[in-house]
Amino acid sequence: MKCITYRGGYKYQIKETYTVQIEITPTVNINTEYIQLDTDGNLTLTKGYAWDGPSGPTIDTLTFMRGSLIHDALYQLMREEFLDHKFYRRTADVILRKICREDGMWFLRAWWVYAGVRLFADPAADPADKRPLTHAPKGCQS
């Protein structure tokens, strides 16, 4: 039987490598398969990086996509323990709001997005919340 192993929860995938300067500057360079963050705060997401887009009771709009991409990557680095989620989570949430405003999101909606992640998103950054692997078809294990 041919089996596959995958992680669910992703809707979008970047088609070109993307780099942005952010306010998080780790003490050592972080390099994963799809995410790099250097000590100068250059966050690079490699072509093929997948994320779930804006979460919660919201709609996926162009003013939210770049912010959700950056925010999801930072939360992933926290879940994978490259960044301390207790120390960096607030900064990641502020970056989300800032990027959304830069991209034209209405001030009140950006505030609401920020309040939502501050109140409800901590589990998504917690290392205990790693996305599980799924095997298909039924009966497959790796």
Dist CA 99 CA 69 (whole Å):
10
Instruction: State residue 133's pLDDT score.
Output: 87
Q: Give the residue extent of every domain in the chain.
A: 7-127
**In 18-123, where do the E strands start and end?**
18-21, 30-31, 35-37, 42-45, 50-51
Q: What is the pLDDT of residues 49-70, one digit of tens each?
A: 999 999 888 899 999 999 999 9
Instruction: State residue 142's pLDDT score.
Output: 57
Instruction: State residue 52's pLDDT score.
Output: 93
- Percent of the chain residues past pLDDT 90, beyond the cut: 82
What are the residue ranges in the chain where pLDDT is below 70?
142
Instruction: State residue 9's pLDDT score.
Output: 83
**pTM reported for the whole predicted model:** 0.92
